[in-house]
C-alpha cells in the first residue's frame, strides 16, 4: 500500500500530458483569390480536456476572437462549443497586412484577460508591378518563443508547447515560391496552389513567400487598345500600319 501511495503522484504526472494531448488545434491561413480579393481564415478546435478544464476561460477566449473578427468586417461560424471558424475578407494586399496585424496585435491590454493562446504575429507585404503581372511578397513572423503556458483567468497549464498543434497555410491561384523559411519548420504539404507549414512552439517562426498575380489594369488597357484597333479596321477596311 505504501508503494502504491508513493507511486501515485509520479504516475499522475505522467498521465496528465497524455490526457491533455492535442488541447488546441489552431490553423491560420491566407487565401488569395486575386489581386483584389482574398480571405484570412482561422480554424480553432479545442480538445474536450481543455474545455472541461475551464469552460469559462474557453468561452471568454473564443468570444474575444469572434468579436475581433467581426470588428474587421469578418464573420464567424461556431461549429461546436469546442470549434470555431473565423473568416476576415480583404480587398488588396495592403488591407491584408492591416487586418492581419490588427487581429494579431500582440499582448495588448484588450487581449490579455482572456487570451488562452497568444500568437504574437506580424505580417508585411510588398508588391512590384510589371504592367501585366504583379509580383507579391509576404513576410510573416510568428513569435512563439514565450508560448509555454496556456493561461486564462481561472486556469493555467504550464509546459503547454506539446499540447498545441499550430499550422499556417497560404493559398494563391498560381502557386508560390518559398523565399525563406527556418530549418526547424516542418513543411507539411505543398500543392500547385497551397503550402502548409507546421509551426514550432518555443521558436520564432519566420516565413517568406512570393507569387505572381495578373494585373487587371494592364490587361484592361490592352483589351481597350485591341477593341479600338478592331473598330478602326472594320470601319476603314485596312490595317492601321497600311501605307496605301
- Domain contains 43: yes
User: Residue 16 pLDDT > 50, yes or no?
Assistant: no
How many domains does the chain divide into? 1
Q: 55-82, pLDDT tens digit by residue?
A: 777 888 889 999 999 999 999 999 888 8
- Domain contains 197: yes
What pTM, to 2 d.p., does this model score? 0.77
- Domain contains 80: yes
Q: Under 8 Å CB-to-CB from 195, ≥6 apart: which residues?
A: 169, 170, 176, 178, 187, 189, 209
- Domain contains 184: yes
- Domain contains 240: no
Average of per-residue pLDDT across 139-146: 86
Q: What whole-number distance in Å separates Cα of residue 155 and Cα of residue 56? A: 9
Provide the domain limits for residue 69: 22-215
- Domain contains 152: yes
Amino acid at each position: 500500500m505504501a508503494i502504491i501511495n508513493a507511486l501515485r503522484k509520479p504516475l499522475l504526472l505522467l498521465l496528465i500530458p497524455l490526457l491533455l494531448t492535442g488541447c488546441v488545434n489552431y490553423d491560420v491561413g491566407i487565401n488569395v483569390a486575386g489581386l483584389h480579393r482574398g480571405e484570412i481564415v482561422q480554424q480553432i478546435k479545442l480538445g474536450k480536456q481543455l474545455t472541461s478544464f475551464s469552460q469559462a476561460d474557453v468561452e471568454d477566449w473564443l468570444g474575444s476572437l469572434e468579436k475581433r473578427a467581426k470588428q474587421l468586417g469578418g464573420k464567424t461560424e461556431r461549429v461546436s462549443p469546442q470549434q470555431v471558424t473565423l473568416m476576415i475578407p480583404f480587398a488588396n494586399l495592403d488591407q491584408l497586412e492591416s487586418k492581419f496585424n490588427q487581429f494579431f496585435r500582440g499582448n495588448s491590454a484588450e487581449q490579455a484577460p482572456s487570451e488562452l493562446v497568444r500568437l504574437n504575429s506580424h505580417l508585411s507585404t510588398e508588391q512590384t508591378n510589371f504592367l501585366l503581372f504583379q509580383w507579391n511578397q509576404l513576410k510573416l513572423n510568428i513569435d512563439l518563443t514565450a508560448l509555454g503556458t496556456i493561461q486564462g483567468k481561472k486556469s493555467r497549464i504550464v509546459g503547454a508547447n506539446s499540447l498545441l498543434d499550430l499550422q499556417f497555410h497560404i493559398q494563391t491561384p498560381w502557386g508560390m515560391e518559398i523565399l525563406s523559411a527556418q530549418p526547424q519548420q516542418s513543411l507539411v504539404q505543398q500543392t500547385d496552389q497551397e503550402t502548409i507549414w507546421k509551426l514550432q512552439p518555443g521558436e520564432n517562426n519566420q516565413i517568406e513567400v512570393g507569387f505572381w498575380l495578373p494585373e487587371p489594369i494592364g490587361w484592361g488597357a490592352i483589351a481597350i487598345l485591341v477593341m479600338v484597333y478592331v473598330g478602326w479596321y472594320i470601319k476603314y477596311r485596312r490595317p492601321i500600319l497600311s501605307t496605301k
